Amino acid sequence: MNAPVTRIATLDFIRGVAILGILLLNITSFALPKAAYLNPAWHGMPAASELWVWSAMDLLAQAKFLTLFAILFGAGLQMLLPRGKRWLQSRLSWLVIFGLLHGLLFWEGDILLAYGLVGLVVWRMIRDVPGTRQLFNTGLMLYVVGSAILVVLGMASGPNPNSSWLPGAADIQYETFWRTHGGWEALRNRLDMLGSALMALAAQYGWQLAGLMMCGAALMRSGWLRGTFSVQHYRRTGWLLVLTGVAIEIPSIALQWMTGWSFRWSGFFLQVPREVSAPLQALGYAALCFGYWPQLRQRFVTKAVSAVGRMALSNYLLQTLICTTLFNHFALFNHFSRLQLLAIVPAIWLVNLLFSLFWLQLFRQGPLEWIWRRLTSLGLPAQGEDDRHHKG
């Protein structure tokens, strides 16, 4: 039989926070041209309110919640190791398939494909590295390498921006057309963007993602992500990490303002402070959740957010369904400012929260989680993995 995996209530809550937080940035990808994701000046210098919204999101959310989710994904791989080689390979392979379908048929900003592909490599490294400190240090090294590659790419790039950073009127018109009309044109563009994403994964982002997963596995192995340290430790560590990350990134945000979001600086060199601060702030957010868990666990909203975390895959894809319907099928793409989009986010959160609470009143798992689990079990031996301890 498969070894049971004990749920950690605080991790369900933190995972829910990550899923809800990711939408703060993804809403821009759903509703605005792709250049707007990192460049607030993609169509000229915007209003001051837009710049302040961008700055706040860049400081507190950009890359932080994705980083937190990657760390939790690695922690999950560590917890699932007793299930065995074939079960993990099957589970991650199906995640790759989900991501491929999601990216091609629905939304090009998919992360599932990257997580599945990197996970298929990383789970073996997690299994085979015996020491917790060694595992963490290896993950940290990989993350640093991935961040350093940004500098190399910046040095290799020219000073003139491309259409993905500063699109022309024709580029914006074309992107609006294929997003709102769908069909073969949309599929072809999503396929092109998927190819670019895979190249970026191989060249740079994959290093960071692998490093974060390994660090998450090490923190789970050490007990830090199980909540075994004192409340005072988590509170002290959490505030220290968050404030350190904020202090690192504030100068970068200021410099991007000063350079007018120039392609070479804002697109590469000034991304590095964010990459440095993101793991610090992500772990800081997690630590604060552990530190204030005695108070948090008594609140109804905590139960609701934890339900979102238990159904992370279903809620991630539900956000895609809502946003693509709203901005693509209802042709509202490129109709809203960043500030207006930020006001839409709580309504989508409410759908996530209510759906999760309702569903878990009736079932033990989310709908996509149940399908994923059933597909994972296809072709596995009825009595569990006979190669559970085999290293292949």
Each residue's pLDDT tens digit, 243-283: 999 999 999 999 999 998 998 889 899 999 999 999 999 99
Q: Report yes or no on 173 lying in a domain.
A: yes
What mean pLDDT comes out for the span 108-115? 96
| Cα distance between residue 323 and residue 334, in whole Å | 13
Distances (CA, A) of 161 to 149, 155, 157, 246, 265: 19, 14, 9, 28, 11
What pLDDT does residue 380 have? 77
Each residue's pLDDT tens digit, 340-358: 999 999 999 999 999 999 9
What pLDDT does residue 164 have? 86
What pLDDT does residue 277 have? 97
The model's pTM = 0.94
Q: What is the pLDDT confidence band of residue 385, given thresholds at 50, 70 and 90?
A: very low
Each residue's pLDDT tens digit, 137-163: 999 999 999 999 999 988 888 777 888
| Cα distance between residue 109 and residue 92, in whole Å | 19
Helix (H) or strand (E) holding 328: none
Distances (CA, A) of 134 to 49, 217, 221, 266, 286: 46, 11, 12, 34, 22
Q: Report yes or no on 208 lying in a domain.
A: yes
Q: Report yes or no on 391 lying in a domain.
A: no
Task: Say if CB 48 and CB 36 are below 8 A apart.
Answer: no
What mean pLDDT comes out for the span 170-180? 96
What pLDDT does residue 2 have? 53
What pLDDT does residue 45 have? 87
Distances (CA, A) of 193 to 94, 244, 274, 333: 21, 35, 23, 18
What mean pLDDT comes out for the span 91-120? 96
In the chain, how many domains are there?
A: 1
Mean pLDDT of the residues in the chain: 93
Q: What is the pLDDT confidence band of residue 98, given thresholds at 50, 70 and 90?
A: very high
Q: Which residues pair with 42 in a beta bridge?
A: 44
What pLDDT does residue 384 have? 43
Q: Report yes or no on 368 lying in a domain.
A: yes
| Cα distance between residue 223 and residue 231, in whole Å | 14
What mean pLDDT comes out for the span 209-235? 97
Q: Report yes or no on 280 lying in a domain.
A: yes
Contacts of 258 (CB under 8 A, 6+ apart): none
| Cα distance between residue 359 and residue 376, in whole Å | 22
| Cα distance between residue 261 and residue 264, in whole Å | 9
| Cα distance between residue 207 and residue 118, in whole Å | 9
What pLDDT does residue 5 have? 62
Q: Report yes or no on 389 lying in a domain.
A: no
Q: Report yes or no on 71 lying in a domain.
A: yes
Each residue's pLDDT tens digit, 3-57: 556 789 999 999 999 999 999 999 999 999 999 998 999 988 888 999 999 999 9
Each residue's pLDDT tens digit, 292-307: 999 999 999 999 999 9
Task: Say if CB 360 and CB 307 are below 8 A apart.
Answer: yes
Q: What is the pLDDT confidence band of residue 382, given thresholds at 50, 70 and 90?
A: low
Look at residue 160 and give its three-state secondary structure: coil
Q: Report yes or no on 2 lying in a domain.
A: no
What mean pLDDT comes out for the span 163-174? 92
Residue 250: domain span: 9-377
Task: Say if CB 31 and CB 341 are below 8 A apart.
Answer: yes
Residue 390 has pLDDT above 80, yes or no: no
What pLDDT does residue 386 have? 42
| Cα distance between residue 216 and residue 222, in whole Å | 10
CA-based radius of gyration for the chain: 21
